[in-house]
Chains A and B, each alone.
Chain A
Amino acid sequence: MSDTRLAAARALATGIVHPGQETLLAGLEPGLWQVTPTSAGPVLALAGDLHLHAVELAGLPVARLSPTQAKTLLAVLIATGTGAAHPYPGAVATVDDVLTVLGGTAIGPQAAAHVKGALNKLHTWRLAQLGPPGGEEAVTADLGVPLRAGPAVALWSGPWVGELMALVGDLAEHRRPR
């Protein structure tokens, strides 16, 4: 079993490249694999232009976000948006900011609970990161908890990111008080 093979498998399994193994992983086919820096540390992932989107996903078994999870992720991108072309790393926001984007107190306690549940799942899937930057302890979505775009967002690439950020920009502009 080669060191590179095991280091790569370990990086894929843990979602993180262990310190000192970046040099080993640099030997992988660059057209297929890349090491991307994120707030959680370097991540080994498929090269950006291999990320499937739109029609390429048709007919494939893929994991899809539920409507509440998708809406909550969009709210996270709005709350953490900086106007940059890419949503990562974005600004630090709070769970309150996400709830405000989605309607604040008007959405009611039950809908707020669903949003918090969705944030916890987005945290599990590394699409959102709950807790203070660099914090190690487990944090669940609640009022006042800091939040930012998760390390998985750092891997997003392709034309669809531009389209998504245009939508995020439009929505943020629409929300701004006149």
Chain B
Amino acid sequence: MILAPLGAEVTVIQNATIMSEGAKGTFKGSIVVENGKIKEVGDKVMVPPGATVVDAQGQYVIPGIIDCHSHIAVDGGVNEGSVSVSSMVNIRDVINPEDIAIYRALAGGVTAANILHGSANAIGGQTLVLKMRWGTDAEGMIFQGATPGIKFALGENPKRAGSSGGGRAGSAGRYPATRMGVEDVIREAFNEAKQYKATWDAYDAQVAKGEHPLPPRKDLKLEPLKEVLEGKRFVHAHCYRADEILMLIRVADDYGFKIKTFQHVLEGYKVAKEIAAHGAGGSTFSDWWSYKVEAFDAIPYNAAVMTKKGVVSSLNSDDAELMRRLNTEAAKAMKYGGMSREEALALVTINPATQLGVADRVGSIEAGKDADIVIYDKDPLSNYSKVQKVWIDGNKYFDRDSDVSGRPGKDLEKKKLADKEKAEATPARGGRGPQ
């Protein structure tokens, strides 16, 4: 079943507690969905004729959760770890719409995710934003209109990856082996990219003048860096320590580009002012740390502190399992940092939307936005709540009732196949039959 890109059906969700994350705040009311968009939100709405009415009495509705850092739905490895600069590779080439993690994310209320290359390289691969349109194909998964990105990585991972000597200086293996080296790799790459850009700009100018010069060679490694310099591609930088965060801001300033988000950014609370001044977002974990030395200095107040200092902050999963319960990750910011309910939920809805440059499309329940909507049976900030229904672009992609009722049928089908295989295998294993 390949769904139409935009739900043609008209749906009205009534009597719900709507945590809109928009100007209207939290209120009891209804949502009208038409042509894949939210048409109207309010205490009282007109139900268009022929609309499917969903009575959400006693239930909660939130905008679809957005995960700013995920590695699901990728075929054949998330790390092109062979080289220090792997900007030539692109997640877009290897989207796997069959990954069951997509469906599980949906069941956890996630409707969009920033799918990143791994962190093995100082400059990693190209990234993109997907919508969790389970059942569609690779192209159908793509969040059209979202600005593509590129992964950078600082610290231990890029300096350890691909080095047989465990990253110690002097060991045989891939450069760099130190944090200094990581900075150098990034600077060298942008030196190259600037030169490359100049070559192409000169060519384009000649062509504009009506000349017919030989075009320069297209270099897939430098193309996306040229786009970063031109502001056409977002930089999402994996980082932990305050010193390296400052380092990357200096590098970006030197070369005239912006870091769109610092990812993980566990020491972001130490340099929140500088991050805010650069205009970058911070996408962090709620309370996941100490899994390596550079992650020792983390605090669960990170998201709250960064927010208070003016950094647009979000909480991400980096993990297919954690991705299913980002709602309760957000809730932790109420305990650690005293965030309000709306502020906490914003960490997994409107804030990541802002960080990914798609806040005009998703992240809140407001008229004109994409109809990416989740119904929880209870308070979404409670770990007793369960996702009931999920819509993306007005199409329903998850329904807990039909999931549960469909299970026995699926089990039966599987059993039938297993029995058939067993029956076919038996005579062969038993040797000659009576013939």
**Is the A/B pair a real complex?**
no
B residues adjacent to A (C-beta < 8 A):
none
